[in-house]
Amino acid sequence: MTCVLRPPTVEELPTLSALCLRSKAVWGYGNDFMEACRSELTIEACELQSSSIAVAEENGKIVGVAQVRVTGSWADLLKLFVEPTMLRGGLGMKLFHWAASEATAMGAHRMAIEADPDAAPFYRRMGAKDSGFAPSGSIPGRMLPKLIKELGSM
């Protein structure tokens, strides 16, 4: 894979938010559900300061994004989205490893993930362990699998 990871520019944020929506839709959600997710999947300019973001670029095109926020010894994986045409090619793992390394470098010992149910097996493959459920930030009443990745155990 020839993807390079780099920070995004502020001008690229609308492109990233569109990628997040396109990627989330691979699980077959309907229009109403996707519309309810739009706000949570939109990356605001202030998040460039409050979190770390990496985009994956291949041949000049952004094909993936990861976002992690560290608070003390805890990290939250806020986003991990791969372009639908690039699934199962190793890019999710590359972005996950970036997020874990970034969080570790910032002093975190554990990374929490509130996963889409269809993405949870991927996180388990990445070594994360199930840790109950968390309420969806987009859909009232919907519970999402919560997983914890112990950092330093890649």
Ligand X SMILES: CC(C)(COP(=O)(O)OP(=O)(O)OC[C@H]1O[C@@H](n2cnc3c(N)ncnc32)[C@H](O)[C@@H]1OP(=O)(O)O)[C@@H](O)C(=O)NCCC(=O)NCCS
Site size toward ligand X (CB under 6 A) is: 20
Stretch that binds ligand X, among 1-9, 28-36, 111-119, 134-142 (CB under 6 A): 111-119
Stretch that binds ligand X, among 19-27, 29-37, 40-48, 134-142 (CB under 6 A): 19-27
| Long-range CB contacts for residues 40-47, cutoff 8 Å, separation at least 24 | 40/137, 40/138, 41/17, 41/79, 42/17, 43/13, 43/16, 43/17, 43/67, 43/79, 44/13, 45/10, 45/13
CA torsion sign for 33, 136, 148, 117 is negative
Stretch that binds ligand X, among 3-11, 23-31, 32-40, 102-110 (CB under 6 A): 23-31
The site string for ligand X over 118-137 (x = CB under 6 A, - otherwise) reads: xx-xx--x------------
CB nearer ligand X, residue 84 or residue 107: 84
How many H helices and E strands in the chain?
A: 5, 7
The Cα–Cα gap between 84 and 91 comes to 11
Facing residues of 52 across strands? 68
The DSSP code for 116 is: -
Between residue 43 and residue 82, which ones bind ligand X under the rule CB under 6 A? 80-82
Binding residue for ligand X, selected from 1, 4, 87, 154, defined by CB under 6 A? 87
Give residues in contact with ligand X (CB under 6 A): 23-24, 26, 80-82, 87-93, 115-116, 118-119, 121-122, 125
